[in-house]
Chains A and B, each alone.
Chain A
């Protein structure tokens, strides 16, 4: 089976995943793809023609682009106090608004991870957690990744 970088055909016991939710859907990202989590602040709108990228957030002296993952998944972020998940991409970090449920860590056993087909980017695989198939997303190759 052809696999994406970081995913072996047998899964990987060395991965650490961050489990978060958007619109009540549980999703996962590799720990090394996550730059941080903090309370969500209202971003500044940027008129844009890039799909799902239409705002920026300030982070110190830098500006983080905001990727509307909820919009890409056709769901709405849940909770009155949503969180900001920073994901690392090949173009730099970007912010994603996620549900208020605090993300958790998960270290899957090798058999729990199933790599995705090449064409399913940005979903690089799934992880079976408690009987649920949780998609694992990576936006490292952002140009190829938009949902």
Chain B
């Protein structure tokens, strides 16, 4: 799992859908990011979930996610860690939650004594109503995946993108950006 901070909440994104991590200034302006020869529509996850935050902090990152044929570039406030989470440690959202949040989250687990919400990757990648970052920092809702326009950098070199690799010892790894 890639554990990230979004507003006040710790969220987890399954690492098998993460293609890379960018700093915001590497992504350039616009609603899409072009990397690995692919386009990634951007989504502000905190805004999408209704999580309040004053502004993007210096530790903000963009996570490139892909599960064929869907792709998203997710804005988060901080990448906290890359960690293995055994399936048995993940519990479903309590049944008292009966709204859209049941689509948003696949479960929750404890990481370093804090509760982490596991984002449902299918919802995140397939969601039909997206909140997409605009160039002025505001967000706007879209009813469907946008027509992709290459307004981001035409090319990102390999060393600009942080690729995820699992450590050999299998231990939790506090994220460090090279």
> A and B from one assembly?
yes
Q: Are B96 and A50 in contact, CB atoms less than 8 angstroms apart?
A: yes
Q: Are A44 and B104 in contact, CB atoms less than 8 angstroms apart?
A: no
Which residues does chain A contribute within 8 Å of B96, judged by CB atoms? 50, 53, 65, 67, 89, 91-92, 94, 142
8 Å CB contact of B101 from A47, A62, A63, A94: A47
Which residues does chain B contribute within 8 Å of A53, judged by CB atoms? 96-98
Task: Report A57-74 CB contacts with B as 1/0, cut-off 8 Å.
Answer: 010001111010000000
Most chain B beta carbons < 10 A, residue from A46, A89, A94, A142? A46
Most chain B beta carbons < 10 A, residue from A47, A63, A143? A47
Q: Are B9 and A64 in contact, CB atoms less than 8 angstroms apart?
A: no
Q: Are B108 and A56 in contact, CB atoms less than 8 angstroms apart?
A: yes
Which residues does chain A contribute within 8 Å of B151, judged by CB atoms? none
**A49 at the B interface (CB under 8 A):** yes
Q: Are A92 and B95 in contact, CB atoms less than 8 angstroms apart?
A: yes
Which residues does chain A contribute within 8 Å of B94, judged by CB atoms? 56, 63-65, 91-92, 94
Stretch of B16-24, B32-40, B68-76, B109-117 contacting A (4+ beta carbons < 8 Å): B109-117
Interface residues on chain B, size class: 20 to 34
For A, the interface residue count at a CB cutoff of 8 angstroms equals 21
Given A49-B99, A94-B96, residue A63 in contact with residue B104 (CB < 8 A) = no
Task: Report B51-76 CB contacts with A as 1/0, cut-off 8 Å.
Answer: 10000000000000000000000000
Q: Are A45 and B97 in contact, CB atoms less than 8 angstroms apart?
A: no
Q: Mind listing 23 A-B residue pairs with CB under 8 Å?
A: A45-B9, A45-B51, A46-B93, A46-B97, A46-B101, A47-B9, A47-B51, A47-B117, A50-B96, A50-B98, A50-B99, A50-B101, A56-B94, A56-B115, A58-B110, A58-B115, A63-B91, A63-B94, A63-B108, A64-B94, A65-B94, A92-B95, A94-B94
* Nearest 10 interchain pairs by C-beta: A49-B99, A47-B49, A44-B115, A91-B95, A65-B96, A65-B94, A50-B99, A48-B101, A49-B100, A50-B98
